[in-house]
Chains A and B, each alone.
Chain A
Amino acid sequence: MTVTAKDLSVEQAVDQVTLTIDGIEVSVPKGTLVIRAAERLGIAIPRFCDHPLLDPVGACRECMVEVPDMGNGRGMPKPQASCTLEAMPGMKISTQLSSPVAAKAQSGMLEFLLINHPLDCPICDKGGECPLQNQAMSNGRGESRYGGVKRTFPKPVPISAQVLLDRERCVLCARCTRFSEQISGDPFIALVERGALQQVGVYAEQPYDSYFSGNVIQICPVGALTSSDYRFQARPFDLVSTTTSCEHCAAGCELRTDHRHYQVKRRMAGEAPEVNEEWNCDVGRFAFVSGRLTDRLTMPLLREDGVLRPASWPEAVDAAVAGLKAAGTEVGVLTGGRLTMEAAYAYQRFARTVLGTNNIDFRARVASAEEEQFLASTVAGVRLDDSVTYGDLERAGKVVLVGLEPEEECPIIFLRLRKAVRKRKLRVVAVAPRLSNGNAKLSATLVPTAPAGETAAIADLTDVDAGTVVLLGERLAGVPGALSAAVALAERTGARLAWVPRRAGEVGAVEAGCLPSLLPGGRLVSDGVARVDTGSAWGVASLPSGPGLDVNGMLGAASDETLKALVVAGAEIGDFADPVSARDAFEHVGFLVSIENRLSDIAVRADVVFPAALLEETTGTFLDWEHRPRPVARVNKGLRSPMTDIRILAALADAMGSDLGVRNARQAAAELGELTGWDGARAEAPAFPGADDSITPDGLRLATWRELIDDSRRNDGADDLMETAPPPVARLSTATAARAGITDGEPVTVGTARGQLTYLALLDDTVVDGVVWIPSRAPGRNVAETLGARAGDPVTAKEGFQS
């Protein structure tokens, strides 16, 4: 991506120092390490422990250079580790290229590193992409002089379900332990023992419990840390690597996806300094097999005599067209959060120009009219240059989190905030019903707020100014007045707002116009000028002008059969605000078309099912929460279903005697590109009142949100990943527990009139009194479905198992 002007100005503000490396002058910002100054000249000094995003440690001693002049006319008597040496003005450095002493120090160090290394490269996952292998060739001796006994260990030992440790291969660079301590803040691994027996160890009573554990595999400079998932799956030189973007959340991580034989073997964090730097989360890394399970759809299905049977494409298209034509404009389109911006664009165009309705909504989750107005006024049509970015978070004076748990809902925001907390002492404030582990790692100040109390809490926030960034989670759609209060806060104080949805496709869907009131690029359906402008771009005479139904309206209308047909893509019944009423809607709607990758609980109720290509088989763009375009590249060309969402919609349009106008992602992107930069009317900011948020003295209120690793179809098949899912616990304060007769560590059953769910009680005094927190989708426990309750609703809690 382009480097913004803001970033440049920061860099230029730093003093520059000029030094000479191997006779070549180079200027670098003050504080730059010599090893990195050398990189600017293209001089690669070998290294193992050095990592640009970790604090220097100087442990491996591989990067030795000679320092004939420290910049004060005096040289250093001994070679120095260039990874811990700051560049000084006038300094002279001789690397292995010009100093025999440095070259000997480096080759000597490599010889030492290899004496206790097993040299089992032919069976090592790292073989072929191993810094130790590479540098042994470039900077080491051809043959070892060591004839002694090597240190041996049993191998491998698991440090978590996903990460295996081979201690024999470890060069003790401490990258993994530094990552865990400095970056993710999960110091569950540490170096133990001493001398040559020093090794990475885990705390016996606590597993290596981190959402970011996969990164230690990637930054291990040898094959000591391997992935249980990828172990022995492929040789690096047999893999084909594709740079793409992660589809699992709105963080926008760049990915390097490696495949072989038309099957993805592993995913690694890509290098995107402005977005995910070089990290990603374990879901992004390990959850990629759900599309190759037995429920993958590869051909259309058609309901006949009440049963779905495989059908040919023409047969299925004809059946879908017949059903949709019969429904006329009494039809709705629901798209979930998995779609690329281009696909979302195609769906809304399909709804508006082919079906002739504004009944379209991407929000297969808690949604409100207030949120729709907020998205239309504050999120839609915003360009990257005008929006809050990761860099802005890092430079902010203060960051306020409302309805958002970054570590659970957008892990890269968590990492970036933690970096700023650590390096710049950024202050983080969390408006939440409890201080989560993630926010504790951000040293966040908790504004204790019972669910539904966010609206008042936002209004009451003090010490907010233009240097403050307020991050708003999608959960606020369920809190009347909260988004309105946030907009008012921003207007009053100059603070900047950013909306952080959970899913990767949501910002793109807003931009594409997948909302009943919104056309592409922030245009309003209610604005005649915008309709004409959009209609002319699409080559249609007119666009439907009537107000469309949002997700709640469509599900209600489907239940009472005033809506005759639904087209659904990328959604699960369990995702909706109330899965029970959503199921009712899908069962009652007269005609249901499902466009899916896998046989879903909506697809099994559909009249026609179309198999859509997986994301890894298609191209497109996600907009991350910053509104930064994140390109999705086709990874896998061995297609099991040749039809993308866009192709399917185009085929339906053709068969209906209409024209979708676009037939692939490239065309959709081009057309959407023409519709950006709208300077006409925009939606008004929402100004909704808050609801009564008082807690009845004896009542108990539900707090809940989704965790990163939980019951999600994206995680299907990633068994090792799921083993690291947080345990199902119900958190409540000691006082609340005492009142309800609940004991720490005992089973506790949370219930409503609809149903009950059992968790283990965890007393946590950061939880607001009168509130019980449970995870929304712990494996096997869907709170919305079983309890029919959302955050803020009254619940009961009692010790013991469900009756």
Chain B
Amino acid sequence: MTDLLTPVLTKNWGDEKSWTLRAYEKSGGYDALRKALTMTPDEVTGVVKDSGLRGRGGAGFPTGMKWSFVPKDNPNPKYLVVNGDESEPGTCKDIPLMLASPHTLVEGVIISSYAIGVHTAFIYIRGEVLHVVRRMQQAVAEAREAGYLGTNILDSGFDLEIVVHAGAGAYICGEETALLDSLEGLRGQPRLRPPFPAVAGLYASPTVINNVESIASVPSIIARGKDWFGSMGTEKSKGFTIYSLSGHVANPGQFEAPLGITLRELLELAGGVREGHELKFFTPGGSSTPILTAEHLDLPLDYEGMAGAGSMLGTKALQIFDETTSVVRTTLRWVEFYKHESCGKCTPCREGTWWLVQLLRDFEAGTAREGDIETMLDLCDNIGGRSFCALADGAVACVTSAVKYFRSEFEAGYRTPAWELLPYELSARFSVPATTGAHV
């Protein structure tokens, strides 16, 4: 089974002091940069474009194409911003990557900046993970010391500085335009588009914003070629990616595999669902992606496969829930998260999540009234696709999909508290004292 794994990004994670420049160079680090600097920037962009690499942050937009949107004739400086504001419930790939192998990202940033014509790049990291911020700062300092950053990098004539920036604790700053506001020192709230960041992004200058994993994938593509990359994955979803499994699974963690692997295969790699239990539902890519159930175990986990099932690949954060789990309680927790993280800019997200939480608390407490399911779905209809950015779409995706697959559990909420229907202590991974109420 282990030959299903294709460790590229995760290959060196187990190495001795894998985060140091020395360890990274020992395993061939920065060779791709040397190779890239012998190519023209357009050739580098061409390889990335032809490789079929798609954004690993969730939306799956072709990375090379994004780079080519940057206008060549704009007199302003161009910027590359790496989105490391990984905050989605369940998502855990960029943070371990930056922690275990920060130089992979640094090398990716240098090659990508060279391709786009950027001389100042930013790595925006979720502020709560201070250890990761420090590790990235250390890596950037090491790389600079070694001549991989600064002026005339490796005698190529190419100059680049990288700024590592810590966010201030807002999920919304993972939305790329809110991230730009935050990076500029403003409150992070999404910006109106157009203008798109490629035209007027950071400091009103052309800006490319890519996910950590996308940029970290670039060195291997340059080093080993587009054909090698394209040999993995499926026709439209090429290459490898990091799947994060969490929840009721025997061996949770990150699993790097070709796109298109199925959850059944991944679960086998992870030792299966918690012993003695069976899969009830899962998120394919974090809490913003509609949940799926055991009937979707054999679907390919790629962009098309998930869209075909009415969900999304997202960040490939597979949260696994077994049959002891209350879907009502899970949904409430997720929506509480979105309510807390709604930036407040637009009405449906701000007010809608406020309302949804109150309805879901009624369902959890068994005090919902007949018709509340219809009201809740109607609210979701008034929120989804009506908001300023996609945060609210994510907030309602878990609600509508939960009702779609587990309506009876919500109907039970007209009479029975969720903690009576599915006692919470049974779903705890570790034994906890029995509880009688919610929110413990």
Using a CB–CB cutoff of 8 Å, the interface residues on chain A facing chain B are 56-62, 64, 77-79, 84, 104-105, 108-109, 111-113, 115-116, 145-146, 148-149, 151, 171-172, 190-198
Using a CB–CB cutoff of 8 Å, the interface residues on chain B facing chain A are 170, 172, 187, 192, 339-348, 350-355, 358-359, 375, 378-379, 381-382, 385-388
CB distance from A637 to the nearest CB of B (A): 44
Q: Total number of A-B contacts with CB less than 8 angstroms?
A: 98
Measured between alpha carbons, how far is A140 from B195 in the docked complex, in Å? 32
Measured between alpha carbons, how far is A171 from B348 in the docked complex, in Å? 12
Q: Which single residue of chain A is at the shortest CB-CB distance from B352?
A: A112
List of 3 A-B pairs having minimum Cβ-Cβ separation, nearest first: A198-B344, A108-B382, A78-B385
User: Does A61 contact B344, Cβ atoms closer than 8 Å?
Assistant: no
User: Does A195 contact B355, Cβ atoms closer than 8 Å?
Assistant: no
CB distance from A82 to the nearest CB of B (A): 13
User: Does B386 contact A109, Cβ atoms closer than 8 Å?
Assistant: yes
User: Does A194 contact B351, Cβ atoms closer than 8 Å?
Assistant: no
Measured between alpha carbons, how far is A79 from B348 in the docked complex, in Å? 13
User: Does A196 contact B350, Cβ atoms closer than 8 Å?
Assistant: yes
Measured between alpha carbons, how far is A144 from B191 in the docked complex, in Å? 31
Of the candidates A79, A148, A192, A198, which one forms a contact with B350 in the assembled complex, judged by CB atoms under 8 Å apart?
Answer: A198
User: Does B351 contact A113, Cβ atoms closer than 8 Å?
Assistant: yes
Of the candidates B187, B344, B347, B348, which one forms a contact with A197 in the assembled complex, judged by CB atoms under 8 Å apart?
Answer: B344
User: Does A111 contact B382, Cβ atoms closer than 8 Å?
Assistant: yes
CB distance from A668 to the nearest CB of B (A): 53
Contact A58:B388 (CB < 8 A) given known A108-B382, A112-B352, A195-B341 = yes
- Could you say which residues of chain B place their CB within 8 Å of the CB of A77? 385
User: Does B354 contact A115, Cβ atoms closer than 8 Å?
Assistant: yes
Q: Which single residue of chain A is at the shortest CB-CB distance from B171?
A: A194
User: Does B385 contact A79, Cβ atoms closer than 8 Å?
Assistant: yes
- Could you say which residues of chain A place their CB within 8 Å of the CB of B385? 77-79
- Could you say which residues of chain A place their CB within 8 Å of the CB of B345? 59, 172, 198
Of the candidates A105, A190, A194, which one forms a contact with B343 in the assembled complex, judged by CB atoms under 8 Å apart?
Answer: A194
Q: Which single residue of chain A is at the shortest CB-CB distance from B382?
A: A108
- Could you say which residues of chain A place their CB within 8 Å of the CB of B192? 56-58, 84
- Could you say which residues of chain B place their CB within 8 Å of the CB of A146? 355
User: Does A194 contact B342, Cβ atoms closer than 8 Å?
Assistant: yes
User: Does B342 contact A105, Cβ atoms closer than 8 Å?
Assistant: no
A-B contact pairs, 26 of them (CB 8 A): A58-B192, A58-B388, A59-B345, A60-B346, A61-B347, A78-B385, A104-B381, A105-B382, A108-B379, A108-B386, A111-B382, A112-B382, A113-B347, A115-B355, A116-B351, A148-B354, A148-B358, A148-B359, A149-B358, A171-B347, A190-B187, A194-B343, A195-B344, A196-B339, A196-B351, A197-B344
Measured between alpha carbons, how far is A145 from B354 in the docked complex, in Å? 14
Measured between alpha carbons, how far is A367 from B213 in the docked complex, in Å? 74
CB distance from A790 to the nearest CB of B (A): 45
- Could you say which residues of chain B place their CB within 8 Å of the CB of A113? 347, 351
Measured between alpha carbons, how far is A495 from B381 in the docked complex, in Å? 60
CB distance from B98 to the nearest CB of A (A): 26
User: Does B354 contact A191, Cβ atoms closer than 8 Å?
Assistant: no
Measured between alpha carbons, how far is A79 from B384 in the docked complex, in Å? 10
Q: Which single residue of chain B is at the shortest CB-CB distance from A196?
A: B354
User: Does A195 contact B350, Cβ atoms closer than 8 Å?
Assistant: yes
- Could you say which residues of chain A place their CB within 8 Å of the CB of B339? 195-196
- Could you say which residues of chain A place their CB within 8 Å of the CB of B340? 195
Measured between alpha carbons, how far is A64 from B341 in the docked complex, in Å? 24
Q: Which single residue of chain A is at the shortest CB-CB distance from B351?
A: A112
Measured between alpha carbons, how far is A740 from B280 in the docked complex, in Å? 82
Of the candidates B344, B387, B388, which one forms a contact with A191 in the assembled complex, judged by CB atoms under 8 Å apart?
Answer: B344
Measured between alpha carbons, how far is A79 from B375 in the docked complex, in Å? 20
User: Does B386 contact A105, Cβ atoms closer than 8 Å?
Assistant: yes
Give the dominant DSSP class at B's interface. helix
User: Does A195 contact B343, Cβ atoms closer than 8 Å?
Assistant: yes
Measured between alpha carbons, how far is A192 from B187 in the docked complex, in Å? 8
Measured between alpha carbons, how far is A193 from B343 in the docked complex, in Å? 8
CB distance from B87 to the nearest CB of A (A): 14
Q: Which single residue of chain A is at the shortest CB-CB distance from B186?
A: A190
- Could you say which residues of chain B place their CB within 8 Å of the CB of A195? 339-344, 350, 353-354
Measured between alpha carbons, how far is A193 from B187 in the docked complex, in Å? 9
- Could you say which residues of chain A place their CB within 8 Å of the CB of B351? 112-113, 115-116, 196
- Could you say which residues of chain B place their CB within 8 Å of the CB of A79? 385-386
User: Does A78 contact B347, Cβ atoms closer than 8 Å?
Assistant: no
CB distance from A184 to the nearest CB of B (A): 19
Measured between alpha carbons, how far is A58 from B189 in the docked complex, in Å? 12
Q: Which single residue of chain A is at the shortest CB-CB distance from B388?
A: A58
Measured between alpha carbons, how far is A703 from B387 in the docked complex, in Å? 54
Q: Which single residue of chain B is at the shortest CB-CB distance from A86?
A: B194
- Could you say which residues of chain B place their CB within 8 Å of the CB of A56? 192
User: Does A104 contact B382, Cβ atoms closer than 8 Å?
Assistant: yes
User: Does A109 contact B348, Cβ atoms closer than 8 Å?
Assistant: yes
- Could you say which residues of chain A place their CB within 8 Å of the CB of B346? 58-61
- Could you say which residues of chain B place their CB within 8 Å of the CB of A172? 344-345, 347, 350
Measured between alpha carbons, how far is A109 from B378 in the docked complex, in Å? 12
Measured between alpha carbons, how far is A457 from B339 in the docked complex, in Å? 60
Measured between alpha carbons, how far is A108 from B384 in the docked complex, in Å? 11
CB distance from B215 to the nearest CB of A (A): 29
CB distance from B81 to the nearest CB of A (A): 22
Measured between alpha carbons, how far is A551 from B385 in the docked complex, in Å? 70
Measured between alpha carbons, how far is A59 from B192 in the docked complex, in Å? 10
Measured between alpha carbons, how far is A149 from B341 in the docked complex, in Å? 19
Of the candidates B344, B347, B354, B388, which one forms a contact with A109 in the assembled complex, judged by CB atoms under 8 Å apart?
Answer: B347
Measured between alpha carbons, how far is A84 from B389 in the docked complex, in Å? 13
User: Does B342 contact A61, Cβ atoms closer than 8 Å?
Assistant: no
- Could you say which residues of chain B place their CB within 8 Å of the CB of A145? 375
- Could you say which residues of chain A place their CB within 8 Å of the CB of B358? 148-149
Knowing that A148-B355, A198-B345 are A-B contacts, what are 14 other residue pairs whose CB atoms are under 8 Å apart, sorted by A's residue number?
A61-B348, A78-B385, A78-B386, A108-B386, A111-B382, A112-B347, A112-B382, A115-B355, A148-B354, A148-B359, A192-B187, A193-B344, A195-B342, A195-B350
- Could you say which residues of chain B place their CB within 8 Å of the CB of A57? 192
Q: Which of A61, A146, A151 has the most CB atoms of chain B within a 10 A radius of its CB?
A: A61
CB distance from B377 to the nearest CB of A (A): 12
User: Does A64 contact B170, Cβ atoms closer than 8 Å?
Assistant: no
Measured between alpha carbons, how far is A209 from B388 in the docked complex, in Å? 31
Q: Which single residue of chain B is at the shortest CB-CB distance from A199?
A: B344
CB distance from B398 to the nearest CB of A (A): 18
Q: Which single residue of chain B is at the shortest CB-CB distance from A78?
A: B385
CB distance from A503 to the nearest CB of B (A): 42
- Could you say which residues of chain A place their CB within 8 Å of the CB of B387? 61
User: Does B343 contact A62, Cβ atoms closer than 8 Å?
Assistant: no
- Could you say which residues of chain A place their CB within 8 Å of the CB of B348? 61, 108-109, 112
Measured between alpha carbons, how far is A197 from B345 in the docked complex, in Å? 11
User: Does B388 contact A61, Cβ atoms closer than 8 Å?
Assistant: yes
Measured between alpha carbons, how far is A105 from B353 in the docked complex, in Å? 16
CB distance from B19 to the nearest CB of A (A): 34
- Could you say which residues of chain A place their CB within 8 Å of the CB of B381? 104, 108
User: Does B354 contact A62, Cβ atoms closer than 8 Å?
Assistant: no
CB distance from A113 to the nearest CB of B (A): 6
Measured between alpha carbons, how far is A84 from B190 in the docked complex, in Å? 14
CB distance from B318 to the nearest CB of A (A): 27
- Could you say which residues of chain B place their CB within 8 Å of the CB of A78? 385-386
CB distance from B340 to the nearest CB of A (A): 7
- Could you say which residues of chain A place their CB within 8 Å of the CB of B375? 145
Measured between alpha carbons, how far is A129 from B378 in the docked complex, in Å? 31
Q: Which single residue of chain B is at the shortest CB-CB distance from A57?
A: B192
Measured between alpha carbons, how far is A115 from B354 in the docked complex, in Å? 9
User: Does A194 contact B386, Cβ atoms closer than 8 Å?
Assistant: no
Measured between alpha carbons, how far is A31 from B369 in the docked complex, in Å? 48
Measured between alpha carbons, how far is A56 from B354 in the docked complex, in Å? 25
Measured between alpha carbons, how far is A318 from B49 in the docked complex, in Å? 98
Measured between alpha carbons, how far is A176 from B350 in the docked complex, in Å? 19
- Could you say which residues of chain B place their CB within 8 Å of the CB of A192? 187
- Could you say which residues of chain A place their CB within 8 Å of the CB of B388? 58-59, 61
Measured between alpha carbons, how far is A190 from B189 in the docked complex, in Å? 13
CB distance from A27 to the nearest CB of B (A): 23
Q: Which of B342, B351, B352 has the most CB atoms of chain A within a 10 A radius of its CB?
A: B351
Measured between alpha carbons, how far is A196 from B349 in the docked complex, in Å? 9
Measured between alpha carbons, how far is A146 from B356 in the docked complex, in Å? 10
